[in-house]
Amino acid sequence: MSTPVETGSRVRCERDGGILRLVLDRPPLNVADVAMLEALDAALRSEAASPDTRVVVLAGAGRAFCAGADVADHVPARAPQMIRVFGRVIRGLLDLEVPSVAAVHGAALGGGCELAMACDLVWAREDARLGQPEVRVGAFPPAAAALLPRLVGPQAALDLVLTGRTIGAEEALRMGLVSRVLPVDSFEAEVRSMAAELAGLSRPVLGVARRAVREAIGRPPGTALDRAESLYLEDLLPLRDAAEGVAAFMEKREPAWRDA
């Protein structure tokens, strides 16, 4: 049973054990205005940073995940504030100490697609549509320009950013923008089940593993390996959960994670 947490009216926070659901809630398509982004930023700084949080699921209410940032905020007088707040949200997702999941249904366009790609995992409903259409209204997506090349490679990133085309969930999966494609009928149930599986793992072990992968991005292979080995020896092995995981495997039992 999920428990609501008080936040701004445009973002609902719901707790279900170690799972924190941040639900974008601005009908009908969850277009992100500055108020929504401020509320999401506040939730990432407070609720997501809580030691009780083991996984963060970013989702959208109603018909869509998020159909983009409010075009009215792209005018010169308002764009600087929007870019600053949106950047804080993207950095907040990237800097989380726990895994983050974007549960994408309907449209994830523009800023909505950028929010999804800032998460560690993107689980998309099979009828989801993703894209960066900013070029068609005389703009470009800063977060996508920074994040897309490392996810899908430079050519696919340029294809999406320069054409502004929208793609389906299966193409996004083949491209590397989406982690998994889930059926329409069982989407919510499967998201909750897989999120619960993540939440049942060791929080600090997941945190170190997440850092190892994220810090490898953009580094030469040898340098990335050096850093991963350092994290393994210096950050992972001292954890009680590292010893517990090995002991549980050897003793053929379920691990009892101990670290907070």
Q: Give, for 211, the enclosing helix (H) or strand (E).
A: helix 203-216
Domain boundaries, position 215: 203-250
**101 in Cβ contact with 123 (< 8 Å):** yes
Asked whether residue 8 is domain-assigned, the answer is: yes
For residues 83 and 195, membership in a common domain is answered with yes
Asked whether residue 257 is domain-assigned, the answer is: no
For residues 195 and 237, membership in a common domain is answered with no
For residues 37 and 158, membership in a common domain is answered with yes
Token pair recorded at residue 159: 């294809």
For residues 28 and 118, membership in a common domain is answered with yes
For residues 121 and 225, membership in a common domain is answered with no
Asked whether residue 83 is domain-assigned, the answer is: yes
For residues 101 and 54, membership in a common domain is answered with yes
For residue 3, the model assigns a pLDDT of: 60
Evaluate if pTM is beyond 0.95.
no
Render 183-201 in DSSP notation, one character per residue. -TTTHHHHHHHHHHHHHTS
For residues 73 and 172, membership in a common domain is answered with yes
**Average pLDDT value for the chain:** 94
Q: Return the number of other C-beta atoms located less than 10 Å from residue 243's C-beta.
A: 12
The total of structural domains in the chain comes to 2
- Which are the catalytic amino acids? 114, 134
Asked whether residue 7 is domain-assigned, the answer is: yes
Asked whether residue 21 is domain-assigned, the answer is: yes
Round to whole Å and give the CA distance between 107 and 125: 10
Cα→Cα distances 33→38, 77, 118, Å:
9, 14, 18
CATH assignment of the domain containing 14: 3.90.226.10
pLDDT per residue of the chain (260 residues) written in tens, 0 to 9: 556 554 457 999 999 999 999 999 999 999 999 999 999 999 999 999 899 999 999 999 999 999 999 888 888 888 899 999 999 999 999 999 999 999 999 999 999 999 999 999 999 999 999 999 999 999 999 999 999 999 999 999 999 999 999 999 999 999 999 999 999 999 999 999 999 999 999 999 999 999 999 999 989 999 999 999 999 999 999 999 999 999 999 999 999 998 75
Q: Give, for 21, the enclosing helix (H) or strand (E).
A: strand 19-24
For residue 8, the model assigns a pLDDT of: 53
For residue 258, the model assigns a pLDDT of: 87
For residues 212 and 148, membership in a common domain is answered with no
For residues 24 and 40, membership in a common domain is answered with yes
For residues 8 and 39, membership in a common domain is answered with yes
For residues 62 and 99, membership in a common domain is answered with yes
For residues 183 and 217, membership in a common domain is answered with no
For residue 230, the model assigns a pLDDT of: 98
For residue 71, the model assigns a pLDDT of: 84
Asked whether residue 256 is domain-assigned, the answer is: no
Asked whether residue 24 is domain-assigned, the answer is: yes
- Interval 94-139: pLDDT, tens: 999 999 999 999 999 999 999 999 999 999 999 999 999 999 999 9
For residue 162, the model assigns a pLDDT of: 98
